[in-house]
Structure 1
Amino acid sequence: MASRSSGPSGCWARLPQLLIIIIVATLLASGLFVALPLLRGRPDLPRGTSLILVEGNIVRVAADPAKEVFLVPLGGVGGATGEQTVVQVATGTPAVLPTAAATATTQPLPTAPPPTITPIPQASCIAFTNYTVASGDTLFSISRKFVTSIPLMARHGISSTSLIPAAVIRVPVGDPACCSGGWRPYVVEDGDTWFGIAAQCGITTDALLQGNGLASGAPLFMASVICIP
């Protein structure tokens, strides 16, 4: 009876099977190594310390060799009283971080001041004079002939359509009866200020205000009638 050969040719025949077993075992071991941190239910944190942003605050995260996590304030471990202020997160348990208290206060938006209403000058400071319109008259030329202004005339119904040659119009003017002590009426123009008018008259702003019976800081309105020296 012939005997079966058990020489080197039989070992070479079984070599592919051994390689397949080794490769499969290696893959299983690698997959188990990668899946272990996930199966243990905790993140694989690096050793040492790192900075993270928690609820708008920057904190330092320190991991010890046992993978326990501590949240340490940036000012240091010890507070003003020397007590340690740390928050320990147990391994394998999801951490619920404390909510930081709001430190910024909401500032109300500034509101625009209400518009200034220009009052109509008092009737006692305005007089009316009749004027016959001549050919070539304009509102500006009439305002130069009398103590008045274009806005003041407009408030009393005089416009460029009123300037019909030979027509008689009633021009509002500053009433001299409003002023005393040698002072005369003046109709405030656009851009006038108490300081500017006082400088043109050669007096101080306080003296001009006092001459009109007004206190410091009184408003000045266009087309109003004041008294100047």
Structure 2
Amino acid sequence: MLNEDFFGRVAIIFVMTVMATSSAIPLLHYFRQDTSESSLAIVTQLASTVFLLLLLVMTITRLPPKGTARGIEPRVTSVAGTFMILLALNLTPELQNEAVQVTALCLVLIGTASSIFCLYWLGRSFALMATARRLVTTGPYAIVRHPLYICEAIFVIGMILSHLSLLMVALGAFQFVLQYRRARNEEAILRKTFPEYDDYARRVPMLLPQFFDKAIPNSGGQ
């Protein structure tokens, strides 16, 4: 019997295929023709394409769910938290300042490259929605419980800087709120599914690495 996870996977595969294809098309233009695009822009575009392709592969091969958050709110939060920045980019023009754009591209590249590493480490446990598949506690997940969200935040900051405006800042801030809520939804289902999660959460901070937790009393990172 076809279940909710199957339909969710099909929808995500479709969206990621479209996004990966759209990201790869400019690369074909860069490589086939002389272009005025900087090497940094090309490398950043390549990293974005690799990230989207990896998302696609991990979605296709992901493990079956052991637990999934119920209700509409976790699903809306996950989708909005994932795609809010794309809406923001379409609503705001790019800032015409070369120094700002170079800085923004550096942030986007750092965020994307580190996201690729975290996603690769997460592997077949990846889920767009708040779903428990397998508990990953090693690698970057031994430093903070949500390293992928931290890396994505760096990417989003780069996008905000690139399209800097009050609207972009507001939409970016709203996405950060959604992602924090999304992380909480994920933790709720992980705690319910894996009894060892509580011990993991006591040892590993949520978002800020341990040396930041020690420097900030009652940081709320646990």
TM-score (norm 2): 0.20
Q: Which has the larger radius of gyration?
A: 1
- Larger RCO: Structure 1 or Structure 2 (Cα < 8 Å, ≥ 6 residues apart)? 2
